[in-house]
Structure 1
Amino acid sequence: MAERAGDQAAGLRRLFGRERMRIVTFAAGSVGVGKSVTVANLAAALARQGKETLIIDENADDQVAALFGSVGRHDLQEVLDRRRKLADTLLTLAPGVRLLRAERAMRSLAGLADAQRDALLESIGGMERPADVILIDASSSYPRGFSPLALAADETVMVLAPTSSAITEAYALIKKLSLGFARRRFRLLVNKVRGADEAEAIHANIAHVTQSRGLARTEFAGHVPLDEHLRQAERLCQPVTALFPDAPAAAAFRQLAGDLLCWPQPDGDDGGFEHFVQQLIHLSQRIDCTAIHAR
């Protein structure tokens, strides 16, 4: 078993040996804060900057695909069951943007059978480099708190809106992940705000509470303004950067894309796609099956 795992790791290193892939989870403590809209528009902005982007969508509503006028038909679970190759489950949403649905798979990832783990590793090893950036649109309804997919990423961005309930729920999720899964660093993206000052004040308040209680360190990822152009683009099933490139929201997503590509990466081997896959396998075997309800 150890020898096979070593061979698989070596294969992953050869496959993904060039510039390290960035893998970022986007999470939210509550629905309605614009998490999926953010992921979709950020992916479009990254693609326009020449970065192949893969979105892994854990949500049941298929909103990310709908925001590009598409429908996701296949799921990672089909790969785990050996009914479809991983490359064949990917849906092209736009030039440089592909989607992997994982709503069904995420519920079985905590406790992968040996055959399912082998199917996942074989599929990954048999495909070309999937992306420069992977964005994970984490489900807010995962029964065990946070899925192995979301936990395995290098970065976790908490998306919240400027309402008391959204702020409270974002803090509660940070607390849950800190106490339950030893997550000690987050980035906060404040959505639907009137300006940068409001967003920075919200982050400062959360950062003070989380740090003073010894939970986690948070960094300000930026903000997306309340912008009618974004709502109109959503209704027309197109990214705002494509329909309204001069809109304030489009500028915000371009800024976020550029910043994300400059975020410091882990030193040594603690990062990139190989580490992501190893973490995913590890978490699928070790994650606590008891839901954590920290408040």
Structure 2
Amino acid sequence: MDKRVPDQAEGLRRLLARCGSRVVAVTGGSARVGRKSTVVNLAAALAAQGKDVLVIDECVGGHSVPAMLGGVRGLDGAGSTGNFSAVVNGELPLDQAAVRTELGFALLAAPRHHCDGYSATQLGAVLGGPADVVLIDAPLDRLGALSALAVQAHDVMIVTRLAAQAISDAYLCMKRLHYAHAIAQFRVLANHVQSRVDAQVAFENLAGVAGRYLTVLATDAGCVAADPRMARSLELGRCVVDAFPSTPAARDYRHVAAEMLYWPMRPAMSSR
């Protein structure tokens, strides 16, 4: 009963908002904070909870989702990236362009340079499909900006670790995104956490500085425990939610995924 009522409430909120998919752009202030593994694990967790999930992968080659998972059937060749352009041009339905992975979520390769030359309306067609949640693996460009596709997300999640440099990079990430896109609210996920108390203190410090100097709101998206099985799952070409579902990191990803479904649905960033 408890689960059914929130699900109905969420459905009503989405209906009133006249918005289909919840779109979240996942990025990070620096390398090796676990941005891509966060996207894949959240997608797998959401799919396991019965949600229709689409992952849009803006990376190519060795940094792509298929590379992390040891290859995804249907996305092994460079030609598969042409499916994105076909969807934008109205030549191919999204459900045919995206590849369904063994983890239960759909995957669409969309290198950010493929967005060049398309209008916001055309790009929005990629995000307007039947998925409950769209997660965009969204690396920043050299100026710290999102792609024309990722900027249409409802939320931006910044993944960080608790090391001093990673926290500084997360703040710089907020600053660059704020000035590039006038983003006024971010969600912060602390990854590879040894202590939840330390994670909370670090978040509060980061949020305080961001509010004071940037006048932006940082919201705590949760934290994921440091877990040696994370590295082992990557060695196996899998994600920890799938390979080791009972470990602390897997439980944390499932908790964050469940909470995402009840974030207030805000207008897309590009329309604010």
Give the TM-score band, short-chain normalised.
Answer: 0.7 to 0.9
Query: What CA distance in whole angstroms lies between the structure 2 residues aligned with 1:98 and 1:62?
Result: 18
Q: Which has the larger radius of gyration?
A: 1
Let me know the Cα RMSD of the aligned residues: 2.9
TM-score (norm 1): 0.75
TM-score by length of 2: 0.81
Alpha-carbon spacing, 1:132–1:222, altered in 2? closer, same or farther (3 Å): same
Aligned to 1:37: 37
Aligned: 1:101 with 2:123: no
Q: Distance in 2 between matches of 1:174 and 1:242?
A: 31
Determine if contact 2:190/2:199 at 8 Å carries over to the other structure: yes
Asked if the contact 1:107/1:142 (under 8 Å) is kept, the reply is no
The answer for the alignment partner of 2:133 in structure 1 is 133
- 1:63 aligned partner, one-letter code: S
Residue 8 of structure 2 corresponds to none
Same amino acid, percent of matched pairs: 33
Give the SS at the match of 1:94: coil
Pairing 1:164-243 to 2, within 5 Å after superposition = 164-243=164-243
Q: Given the superposition, is the C-alpha separation of residues 62 and 78 from structure 1 closer, same or farther in structure 2, using an over 3 Å criterion?
A: farther
SS in 2 for 1:262: coil
**Counterpart of 2:44 in structure 1: which amino acid?**
A
Alignment match, 2:59:
59
Judged with a 3 Å threshold, the aligned counterparts in structure 2 of structure 1 residues 122 and 254 are, in CA distance, closer, same or farther, namely: closer
Which segments of 5 or more consecutive residues in structure 1 lack a partner in the other structure? 1-16, 284-295
**Aligned equivalents of 1:256, 1:138: Cα separation in 2:** 19
User: Corresponding residue for 1:14?
Assistant: none
Letter of the structure 2 residue corresponding to residue 241 of structure 1: V
User: Equivalents in 1 of 2:253, 2:87: separation in Å?
Assistant: 32
Residue 109 of structure 1, CA deviation = 2.5
Kindly indicate whether the alpha-carbon contact (under 8 Å) linking 2:160 and 2:190 is maintained by their aligned counterparts in 1: yes
Residue pair 2:25, 2:150 contacting (<8 A) in 1 also: yes
Say how many residue pairs are matched.
250
Paired residues for 1:48-127 under 5 Å: 48-60=48-60, 61-71=62-72, 72=75, 73=77, 74-75=80-81, 76-80=84-88, 86-94=94-102, 96-103=104-111, 106-112=112-118
5+ unaligned residues in a row in structure 2: which ranges?
1-16
Alpha-carbon distance in 1 for matches of 2:249, 2:118: 40
Measure the CA separation in 1 of the matches of 2:142 and 2:213: 26
Aligned to 1:246: 246
Question: Residue type matched to 2:70 in 1?
Answer: G
Deviation at 1:201, TM superposition (A): 1.3
